Amino acid sequence: MHVTDVIRRSGRSLRSAKARTILTSLAIAVGGFTLTATLAAGNGVREYTNRLVASNFDPAELIIGRDKEVSNTGAPDTKPKEYDESVASLTVSGDGSSVQIKQVTQSDLDELRSLPYIEQIRENYQLSIRYITRSGQKRFTLSAQTFNPAQKPELKAGVLPSSADFAAGEIALPDGYVSVLGFADANEAIGQEISLNIAQQFNGGSAEELLVKIRGGQDISMLAPAEKNLSFKIVAITKKAATSINFGTLPVLLSSQDAKEVYDFTTSGSANYGKFMFVNAHIKDGADSNRIVEAQSDLTARGYFTLSSKEIQQSITQIVNFLQILVGVFGLITVVASIFGIVNTQYISVLERTREIGLMKALGMRSRDVRRLFMLEAGWIGFLGGVIGSGAALIVGSLLNPWITTKLDLGAGNSLLVFEPIQIVLLILSLVIVAIVAGFLPARKAAKLDPIEALRTE
């Protein structure tokens, strides 16, 4: 008996028991739906992660530090470090626990700048600014950071340098400050002047030393920290981007020259002045991943710890993969449960069609063709379940994507669920194979039936 004849006959057999076939297919469709949605969510998150990393990190740059925490993508080290003037303690929780990090010093910077494969070093300035204001307006708190040409913040108005730094005295202002500083809209703010107030750290000594000075009649008003105002011209208004890593209020963006001036004025003379948690190094020909690997190897040999944009991406993707596997397990459990449904359905079918099987064998149908017939029937059930489940996931996902994008604020062009046709096809084929394997035992039972005994069955 030809395979095509067996396939057609198996289809006719299933159509004769439509209700049972559909119910069994729906059981496997639940697993198909879950697995299709899980694969689509994994695709969407990975694509978003790729855009996130590309929008915030330059692939030709390396993050370089003196502490292994710089390259650590897991839990921080809990062991205390041996005392060193370059070690800083960073409080990370409300209970006072901290991460102790050995910082990059000036001698490290001199060494890094001397390396032939490093084109440029960007210090990671921690900027402290008291407030922002403009003439006739109130003062507001803010955060600030150095503009990174690799970043691609979204704009409401103005322009950013395409590949270079801001000019000295230029600033990018977050859209949250437009109305509070008295501007009608973002376009009106472009070209206007704002002022940042910065202050030096208090240098009056310890509380005991200060008390001695007061008792001695010294005028301590002279010990008040110096402060000054810096004027900037607004060249761009930024807004929260879907691929931004910032949380809360966006920072104002300063040129590296202005950032250094703020850093020098506010931290000069402090214990951590001239020391950095990490620095960014632009690698010569860094677009070639081999150059990045070579640079990392040499820096590691020199006692530095590094992190590339590719490693950051892999770290995020690893978390996504774990969550995807976790959700996928529930889909697999559903598929496994549906296997028992297929086995049960096929056993019932064998019992109901015992006389039919005996007649087919009496007319010359071989045992292997009987076995193939029932296994193909199981395969049809898997195919129908896969098509129903994947089709439902595709329809529901396509309808929900716009709503999910809005609720999660993923931004235009980003979708949480990204369906890949090849994945859906392979999933359906996998469910067909699983169903065929599930139908093996009932098919084997049908193939072993004695035709004479089968024909006697009532």
Residues β-bridged to residue 233: 170, 193
pLDDT in tens, 201-218: 755 555 555 565 556 656
Task: Look at the block and give the residue holding tokens 């996130």.
Answer: 52
Looking at residue 247, its pLDDT comes to: 58
At 264, list the tokens.
Answer: 């020098």
Question: How would residue 44 be classed by pLDDT, with cut points 50, 70 and 90?
Answer: confident
> Measured over all CA atoms, what is the biggest interatomic distance in the chain, rounded to whole angstroms?
121
Residues β-bridged to residue 236: 158, 172
Residue pair 131/229 in contact by the 8 Å Cβ criterion: no
Range among 141-150, 245-254, 401-410 with highest mean pLDDT value: 141-150
Which of the two residues, 282 and 334, has the higher pLDDT score?
282
Distance from C-alpha of 352 to C-alpha of 346, rounded to nearest angstrom: 10
Return the number of other C-beta atoms located less than 10 Å from residue 405's C-beta.
19
At 169, list the tokens.
Answer: 């005295």
Looking at residue 370, its pLDDT comes to: 79
Looking at residue 360, its pLDDT comes to: 75
Range among 39-53, 135-149, 309-323 with highest mean pLDDT value: 135-149
Looking at residue 202, its pLDDT comes to: 58
Q: What is the DSSP string of 353-388?
A: THHHHHHHHHTT--HHHHHHHHHHHHHHHHHHHHHH
Residue pair 105/303 in contact by the 8 Å Cβ criterion: no
Q: For 243-247, 366-370, 419-423, which range has the lowest pLDDT when averaged over its residues?
A: 243-247
Q: Is the pLDDT of residue 223 over 80?
A: no
Average pLDDT rounded to a whole number, residues 414-422: 86
Looking at residue 218, its pLDDT comes to: 60
Looking at residue 73, its pLDDT comes to: 64
* 3 state SS of 70: helix
Specify the pTM: 0.69
Positive or negative torsion for Cα 91, 93, 94, 95: negative
Looking at residue 444, its pLDDT comes to: 82
Distance from C-alpha of 354 to C-alpha of 443, rounded to nearest angstrom: 12
Cα separations in angstroms, 372 against 14, 345, 408, 430, 440? 14, 16, 49, 18, 9
What string of H, E and C letters represents the secondary structure of 239-275?
ECCCCCCCCCCCCEEECHHHHHHHHHHHHCCCCCCCC
Q: Is the pLDDT of residue 254 over 90?
A: yes
pLDDT in tens, 100-147: 888 899 999 999 999 999 998 988 888 889 999 998 899 999 989 888
